[in-house]
Amino acid sequence: MRVTVLSGGIGGARFLLGLRSLGHDVTVIGNTGDDITMLGVRICPDLDTVMYTLGDGISQERGWGREGETFRVREELTAYAEAIGAGNGADAVPSWFGLGDLDLATHLLRSEWMRGGVPLSECTRRLCERWQPGVTLLPASDSPIETHVSLVTGRTVHFQEWWVRMRAQIEATGFEIVGAEQATAAPGVIDALFDADVIVFPPSNPVVSIGVILAVPGIADAIHQTEAPVVGLSPIVGDAPVRGMADACLSAIGVPTTADAVARHYGVRAAGGLIDGWLVDTIDEAVVPGLVADGFAAEAVPLLMTDLESTTAMAKASLTLAAR
């Protein structure tokens, strides 16, 4: 079976470990809205999280970045920044960003290729030659896209600054996906949606991961039009994100942090929305009848990716729902 998955970072990557073990032909459309240029290097956090996770190079403890990582370059940069003091050039040092030494090699190489005109999709393909993720990993777009966050204070910052530096503690009032309007889907993306047997929205952040992929012109239209069933798994379990601060993203766009509100945010395809089916965790079983009444194929199954076995069961459940 050909399965196409729209993925963010950690939530999507972990789900893909389970899906991959089922042996299907998997294409991943990765979020590029988290991408940022720092110190002259292009960093693609979500693509790299998928690549390292499926390539068995991810830090098990952190869930992002490399296992066995060191941060010596960052320490050196911070030492310069402290000696220089505020202003005066010290602002060039993103001390708050988890830039690891091993990870830096990926960014250096990708940036060098990109400076020579190599598209991000080709850079990703080359990097995957080493990691052998066992899936086809495509960026949603080769055009640069960056999610910016409008804050209640009136400032606008890059998503990474809000998420990593501010821990999403300062209220967001909205998101702007800079570059999305002019962007086009990367080679292979639209075909992967039309040629799929099943399309899956894994338990990724609905706003800043899947929402950003959907903002690339042509992708949402292809999902509306494709003959493949489209199913999703809730990243919200018991009215809270399992990990991270997705609640802060949902409230910024006026969506309650509940499993059924996220499904309704995507909308049922029969009524012009994006999904046909939706899985919620067993703890949220009570929302299933309401979703069914609204036209979704919905079911409650355990949705905690605690190990490969539970994650594989989730992947299997999503394909079973799609077959229905």
Which chain residues interact with ligand GDP by CB under 6 A?
Answer: 7-12, 46, 49, 203-205, 209, 233-235, 237, 241-244, 246, 303-305
Q: How many angstroms separate the CA atoms of 232 and 121, rounded?
A: 25
Q: Compare residues 93 and 264 and give the one whose CB is closer to ligand GDP.
A: 264
Q: Compare residues 18 and 229 and give the one whose CB is closer to ligand GDP.
A: 18
| Residue 280: contacted member of ligand GDP, Ca ion, none (CB under 5 to 8 Å, by partner type) | none
Q: Compare residues 179 and 241 and give the one whose CB is closer to ligand GDP.
A: 241
Q: How far is the CB of 117 from ligand GDP (least distance, A)?
A: 28
- What are the Cα distances from residue 24, in Å, to 12, 74, 130, 135, 304? 16, 40, 21, 9, 22
Please, where are the H alpha helices in the chain? 10-20, 45-54, 72-84, 101-115, 120-131, 159-160, 189-194, 210-214, 219-225, 246-252, 259-266, 288-293, 308-323
Q: Which residue is nearest to Ca ion (CB)?
A: 9
H or E stretch covering 277: strand 277-280
| Residue 241: contacted member of Ca ion, ligand GDP, none (CB under 5 to 8 Å, by partner type) | ligand GDP
Q: Compare residues 34 and 69 and give the one whose CB is closer to Ca ion.
A: 34
Check: CB of residue 28 under 8 Å from CB of residue 135: yes
Q: How far is the CB of 222 from ligand GDP (least distance, A)?
A: 20
| Residue 312: contacted member of ligand GDP, Ca ion, none (CB under 5 to 8 Å, by partner type) | none
| Residue 11: contacted member of ligand GDP, Ca ion, none (CB under 5 to 8 Å, by partner type) | ligand GDP
Q: How far is the CB of 207 from Ca ion (least distance, A)?
A: 11
Q: Compare residues 104 and 246 and give the one whose CB is closer to ligand GDP.
A: 246
Q: How far is the CB of 52 from ligand GDP (least distance, A)?
A: 12
* Nearest residue to 205 (alpha-carbon basis) of 194, 213, 196: 213
Q: How far is the CB of 35 from Ca ion (least distance, A)?
A: 10
Check: CB of residue 136 under 8 Å from CB of residue 186: no
Q: How far is the CB of 258 from ligand GDP (least distance, A)?
A: 12
φ, ψ for residue 69, nearest 5 deg: -70, 150
| Residue 237: contacted member of ligand GDP, Ca ion, none (CB under 5 to 8 Å, by partner type) | ligand GDP
| Residue 184 burial (C-beta neighbours within 10 Å; 0-12, 13-18, 19+) | middle
Q: Compare residues 211 and 277 and give the one whose CB is closer to Ca ion.
A: 211
Q: How far is the CB of 200 from ligand GDP (least distance, A)?
A: 12
What residues form DSSP beta bridges with 148? Answer: 158, 176
| Residue 243: contacted member of Ca ion, ligand GDP, none (CB under 5 to 8 Å, by partner type) | ligand GDP
Q: Which residues have a Cβ under 8 Å from the Cβ of 45 and sit 6 or more positions away?
A: 9, 34, 35, 36, 64, 160
Q: Which chain residues interact with Ca ion by CB under 5 A?
A: 8-9, 34, 46
H or E stretch covering 137: strand 136-139
Cβ neighbour number for residue 240 with a 10 Å cutoff:
11
